[in-house]
Amino acid sequence: MGDPAGIGPEIIAKAFRDDPAVTAGCFVVGDMATLRRASSVVSGPGRPLIPVSRIDAPQDVFETPPRCIPVLQMPRRLGPVAVGRVSAEAGQAAADCVVWAAQAALRKEIGAIVTAPLHKEALAAAGISYPGHTELLQAQAAAFLGKSVSEVPVRMMLANDELRTVLLSIHVALRDAIDAVTPENLLETLRITHESVGALLQRAPRIGVAGLNPHAGEGGLFGREEIDTIAPTIETARRAGMDVRGPFAPDTVFMRARAAAGEPGEFDVVIAMYHDQGLIPVKYLGVDKGVNVTLGLPIRRTSPDHGTAFDIAGTGQADASSLIEAIRFARVLAP
């Protein structure tokens, strides 16, 4: 359900209302009262109230009629959480939902997870030591597999109909992201991308790699990371059988990879050296179509390409398009 103080419950209600085909067989891990409030918010003149029904187990979803929101109630029931405000109670509720879903997916009781947005400050207020969904899911997977977190490396991919980009690092300060550009991290990113995107496409993906510095370093004039780290690692990956090219100037490689006017791009996916370098081009093409996919996990997880939008939470204005796309993508990934 995401953070109950954000737009997550509202876009969930809209998805069940507007696209019963894509939400068929889906259910919400969350809180009945929160989803009923969301249903009321998104209903209005000419729109009937979307019913919310409780289920006790995942398989009960198949007994739920279309355009009804099935909710698996979490044991910790929520009191009235103020919309649009950070709270520890909301952060804990969001984390509880993610943990339940991750464990159910790891036990193969569900086919995939689609996560509504959560708020990182609310997680921190609740004492959750992970900055976001990706890290929380990674920790759950590692514990289930009996491994350390470092033994379950994951990467974030942002995708839409025109572009896919995988991030070398995720939620870290920019100074730390630069330090993360190491041969080990880049080779791991290339391996995960080759395997995960390859499984999606059913062939070896064409991978383009963005440089870290302007103009990919301009032959060392603007930094040597491309010469000393990125290019040698690309060569290592190529020797291992991956279709990888670069490093390319980061201000043009995304345009080269973009599929437009029915024509495929030069690359199937671009490796970005840090968070905003990869997210800006995908989001510029349309937040309503972007999907966040976690690569490297033993479970399948997608999410919409936006946050909790506290500024419009509770107004019914939130657009459910990205969530609907995330559900569609999860169906493609699910076994």
Cα–Cα distance for residue pair 82/316, rounded to 1 Å? 15
Give residue 262's pLDDT: 80
Closest CA to 39 of 70, 65, 61: 70
Closest CA to 232 of 209, 204, 253: 209
User: Does residue 4 lie within any of the structural domains?
Assistant: yes
Are residue 169 and residue 127 in the same domain, yes or no?
no
Is 269 within 8 Å of 257 (Cβ atoms)?
yes
Name the pairing type of β-strands 301-304 and 291-295.
antiparallel
Are residue 281 and residue 316 in the same domain, yes or no?
no
Are residue 44 and residue 78 in the same domain, yes or no?
yes
Give residue 334's pLDDT: 79
User: Does residue 156 lie within any of the structural domains?
Assistant: no
Structurally, how many domains does the chain consist of? 2
Are residue 10 and residue 147 in the same domain, yes or no?
yes
Query: 24-44 pLDDT, tens per residue?
Result: 999 999 999 999 999 999 987
User: Does residue 239 lie within any of the structural domains?
Assistant: yes
Are residue 179 and residue 274 in the same domain, yes or no?
yes
What domain range is 122 assigned to? 1-151+301-335
Give residue 47's pLDDT: 74
Give residue 4's pLDDT: 96
Secondary structure of residue 35 in the 3-state scheme: helix
Q: What is the DSSP letter of 115?
A: P
Supply the CATH number for residue 174's domain.
Answer: 3.40.718.10
Q: What DSSP letter does each residue of 43-106 carry, written as one string? A: -BTTBPPPPEEEESSGGGGGGSPTT-EEEEE-SS----PPTTS--HHHHHHHHHHHHHHHHHHH
User: Does residue 196 lie within any of the structural domains?
Assistant: yes
10 Å Cβ neighbour count for 266? 15
Give residue 265's pLDDT: 93
Q: What is the pLDDT along the chain (335 residues), one digit of tens a residue?
A: 999 999 999 999 999 999 999 999 999 999 999 999 999 999 877 777 889 999 999 999 999 887 799 999 998 888 778 999 999 999 999 999 999 999 999 999 999 999 999 999 999 999 998 888 888 999 999 999 999 999 999 999 999 889 999 999 988 899 999 999 999 999 999 999 999 999 989 999 999 999 999 999 889 899 999 999 999 999 999 999 999 999 999 999 999 999 987 889 999 999 999 999 999 999 888 767 789 999 999 999 999 988 999 999 999 999 999 999 999 999 988 77
Residue owning tokens 């959560």: 118
Give residue 10's pLDDT: 96
Are residue 79 and residue 141 in the same domain, yes or no?
yes
Q: Which amino acid is at 8?
A: G
* pTM reported for the whole predicted model: 0.88
User: Does residue 12 lie within any of the structural domains?
Assistant: yes
Cα–Cα distance for residue pair 255/8, rounded to 1 Å? 31
Contacts of 123 (CB under 8 A, 6+ apart): 91, 94, 95, 130, 131, 132
Are residue 176 and residue 256 in the same domain, yes or no?
yes
